[in-house]
Amino acid sequence: MAGVSTKEIKNRIRSMESTKQITKAMEMVAASKLRRAQTQVLHSRPYFEIFHQTITDISLSNQDFSSVYLQERPASKMVYIVIAGDRGLAGGYNSNVFKLVQERIGGKNAEVLPIGRKAVDYFRSSGVSAFTENYAEAASVSIGDCFSIARALCKAYQEGIYSEIYVAYTNFESMLSQTPFAMKLLPLEKPTGDVRPSDILYEPSGEAVFDAIIPEYLGGLLYGALCESRASEQAARRTAMDNATQNAEDMIADLSLKFNRARQAAITQEITEIVAGS
């Protein structure tokens, strides 16, 4: 800071104070959105638990149970549904999930279905082919869109276009911890356990009901992953903006100290010149 005038230091302090106000406002907005996202996560979990229990019950109550969704296939083409954000300023939220997917699809025959502007831009620049880019705005993806995606992918899976389907998202663990995670959607793992008779009669058959509800089940899982990602994004942005605010405060304190030293040095120099002149 040697050679810098007090005016320049004061301008830098004003600039940092403006930055601090912006980051503080963004932190408060993220905290408000995070509360709503956490509520969505909590409300969506019972839906998947009931669906999962139904699928397990059907599988374990049929001795000769067979479904295309349970059959392992020779490895051919896989597809990853990648959920990211529409904006940055969220720390490593976007880059962490991209890194995870790149590690998993490296050198393999794979496509992606990006959800979020950042995901679309990243995989487009990486040269990875996309199943569709119609969901570039993650904030506008609804639960109906999730079911539409699930039905389209299930149809492609039944036609043999894909041998495996995954979803990659950021799992919300706590306010300070968000972990990128990849979950296998298809083929499903057949539940292990003894075959037991079921008290529920499925019409026309357990297999037909199983095949009918799998797209709905996957749509629910996808919506749950979307809710987890939204909560993780807001938590990551809140943390990043809080850190930015703290850094701005530290810089303001450091600049204020240097400003006082420079002003004190200028006053001392003026007094010295007056004394020397007299």
What is the block-wise mean pLDDT of the chain (278 residues), using blocks of 10 residues?
72 90 89 84 76 69 67 85 91 92 90 94 92 91 92 91 93 86 84 59 68 85 89 90 90 89 83 79
pLDDT given at position 1: 46
Model pLDDT, residue 197: 58
Predicted confidence (pLDDT) per residue in 81-108, tens digit: 999 999 888 888 999 999 999 999 988 8
Looking at the whole model, is its pTM more than 0.85? no
pLDDT at 123: 94
Determine the pLDDT at residue 148: 94
What's residue 268's pLDDT? 84
Question: Dihedral, CA atoms, 232, 235, 241, 245, nearest 10 degrees?
Answer: -150
